[in-house]
Chain A
Amino acid sequence: MSNIPSDLRYAKSHEWLKVEADGTATVGITDYAQNSLGDITYVQLPKPGAVLKAGDVFGVVESVKAASDLYAPVAGTVLSVNPALQGAPETVNREPYTGGWMLKLKPAGAPATDALLDAAGYGKVTG
């Protein structure tokens, strides 16, 4: 069974979002997503400064099996991307919610997390 932390918000497309105390947001993919993909071999992320609308493709995660698009859960500007994933993409498999984070965003306005799911709601998606 996959791990779904209760303090995060989730997109149906299997990204998680954490609103930090300073108002920025951190984005990654869920334990369910990493497990479904299998061994992650490559993560392609945007450059800092990229402006994303909610639902925009912000990158690609590749496993031995397939390449899958990554979708922005909320609108915002990319502040930074996780530098560790270039050399060690498998970190996403091992630590999807911590060391495997992908983006830090400055949300456009108050993050519109209402459209996102809570842990219980996401748990139903992954059934």
Chain B
Amino acid sequence: MSELQRTPLRDFHAAHGGRLVDFAGWEMPVQYRGILDEHRAVRRTAGLFDVSHMGEVDVQGPDAGRFLNQLVTNDVAKMHPGRVVYSPMCYPDGGVVDDLLVYQRSPEDFFLCINAGNIAKDLAWIRERAAGFNVKITDRSSDYALLAIQGPKAAVIVQSLTGAKLGLIKYYHFGEGTVAGIHCLISRTGYTGEDGFELYHAASDAPALAEALLAAGAAHGLELTGLGARDSLRLEAGYPLYGHEISAEISPLAAGLGWTVKLDKGADFVGREALVREKAAGPARRVIFFRTGDRRIVRAGATVLAPDGSAVGTVVSGTLSPLLNESIGSALVTAAAAAGPLAVEIRGDLLALAPVKPPFVPLKQGGVA
């Protein structure tokens, strides 16, 4: 484990019973008390996640907005200071480099949050594409820690530690302020489908902020929550995970993220031409979500079968939904098979996959940003 990177909260996790595992090269807590209990806590009360492994990048300069609008598929030109936008960032062939959040601090000062496993690749890509633009790209990943507090009680817990008026920070917006005396970028975003905040702050402040949130949350049923619950929560919400529902081989259109691809935004963004063609022809493959009515988990990599027994795709995510008490998942299948009956084989039994339009459970917070 000596090669693994650590967040500033590694010792906090160990002291609070976190089970530390290798996640994308980071030593991270997969769980504390148990994935299913932690998942339910986020839906009922609140959970506190360390997601400091995520990467942060400053994009600053006179061309920052114009540069970003040709780098990502969603429309950055319509942003205003304090706004957050979710977007894929594509290759010229329409495959996805990464999905990210774009924060606008001011018209010439943006901030990106990117996936931990993609930091080096993204930075190289962003710097390559920045040639010819008057922008400064700065990797801030090791400067920032990131705590996500998610669930119906998240707002009341954070409000007890800050003078910032959280009611004025709407979904997919952010403000700056102090939480427990620590300067934070307070972002009303998350990856669970619940109301909540992601608090970006200086890495050295992370242990103090985590302890303060844990203490303030105790009376509200806040639990420490690990990456296991983060994954089952995002799948229940129908959110994509890079390397599963989206990847270099799976375009945002194939993934059902057409709402994040603004073909007519007036910028010739990377991948636009390929995505225009793909939209006109219809994606050759599609990501579908399914439930099974069975507790056996259909795991990523399982072959998806058509009624005639032919292989028509592959499961890309699978877990047990703690709320539905049945296994759920997503699969990449041929467009022709997407509408038809689908099944997978588990230990000799055929299990039918019932199509679901996510989210799998009613969410407090909409999926559209």
Question: CB within 8 Å of B: which residues of A?
Answer: 38-39, 41-42, 44, 60, 62, 64-65, 67, 89-90, 93
Give the shortest distance, in Å, between B107 (CB) and chain A (any CB).
45
Q: Could you say which of A39, A44, A90 has the most chain B C-beta atoms within 10 Å of its C-beta?
A: A39
Q: B314: CB under 8 A from chain A?
A: no
Q: B34 — nearest CB in chain A belongs to which residue?
A: A39
Query: A44 touching B347 by the CB < 8 A rule?
Result: yes
Chain B 282-306, CB-CB to A under 8 Å as 1, else 0, gives 0000000000000111010000000
Which B residues touch A90, using CB under 8 A?
36
Q: B104: CB under 8 A from chain A?
A: no
Q: B319: CB under 8 A from chain A?
A: yes
Give the shortest distance, in Å, between A84 (CB) and chain B (any CB).
14
For the complex, give the distance between the alpha carbons of A67 and B299 in Å. 9
Which A residues touch B36, using CB under 8 A?
39, 41, 64, 90
What is the total of A-B residue contacts with beta carbons within 8 Å? 38
Q: B177: CB under 8 A from chain A?
A: no
Give the shortest distance, in Å, between A88 (CB) and chain B (any CB).
11
For the complex, give the distance between the alpha carbons of A31 and B258 in Å. 47
Q: B251: CB under 8 A from chain A?
A: no
Given contacts A64-B36, A93-B34, contact A41 B347 (CB under 8 A): no
Which B residues touch A89, using CB under 8 A?
295
Give the shortest distance, in Å, between B138 (CB) and chain A (any CB).
37
Give the shortest distance, in Å, between B259 (CB) and chain A (any CB).
30
Give the B interface residue count (CB, 8 A).
Answer: 17
Instruction: Provide a sorted-by-A list of 14 A–B residue pairs whose CB atoms are within 8 angstroms.
Output: A38-B35, A38-B228, A39-B34, A39-B37, A41-B327, A42-B296, A42-B297, A44-B347, A62-B295, A62-B296, A64-B36, A64-B228, A64-B320, A90-B36
Contact of A64 among B35, B296, B347 (CB under 8 A): B35
Which A residues touch B37, using CB under 8 A?
39
Query: B34 touching A41 by the CB < 8 A rule?
Result: no
Give the shortest distance, in Å, between B18 (CB) and chain A (any CB).
13
Query: A60 touching B297 by the CB < 8 A rule?
Result: no
Contact of B320 among A41, A44, A60, A93 (CB under 8 A): A41
Query: B319 touching A64 by the CB < 8 A rule?
Result: yes
Given contacts A38-B34, A39-B35, contact A64 B232 (CB under 8 A): yes
Which B residues touch A60, using CB under 8 A?
347
Which A residues touch B74, using CB under 8 A?
none
For the complex, give the distance between the alpha carbons of A90 and B35 in Å. 12
For the complex, give the distance between the alpha carbons of A100 and B347 in Å. 23
For the complex, give the distance between the alpha carbons of A65 and B229 in Å. 11
For the complex, give the distance between the alpha carbons of A93 and B37 in Å. 13
Query: A41 touching B295 by the CB < 8 A rule?
Result: yes
The B330-349 residues at the A interface (CB cut-off 8 A) are 347
Q: B225: CB under 8 A from chain A?
A: no
Give the shortest distance, in Å, between A9 (CB) and chain B (any CB).
28
Give the shortest distance, in Å, between A35 (CB) and chain B (any CB).
9
Query: A67 touching B297 by the CB < 8 A rule?
Result: yes
Q: B228 — nearest CB in chain A belongs to which residue?
A: A64
Which B residues touch A42, using CB under 8 A?
295-297
For the complex, give the distance between the alpha carbons of A65 and B19 in Å. 13
Q: B31: CB under 8 A from chain A?
A: yes
Query: B297 touching A41 by the CB < 8 A rule?
Result: yes
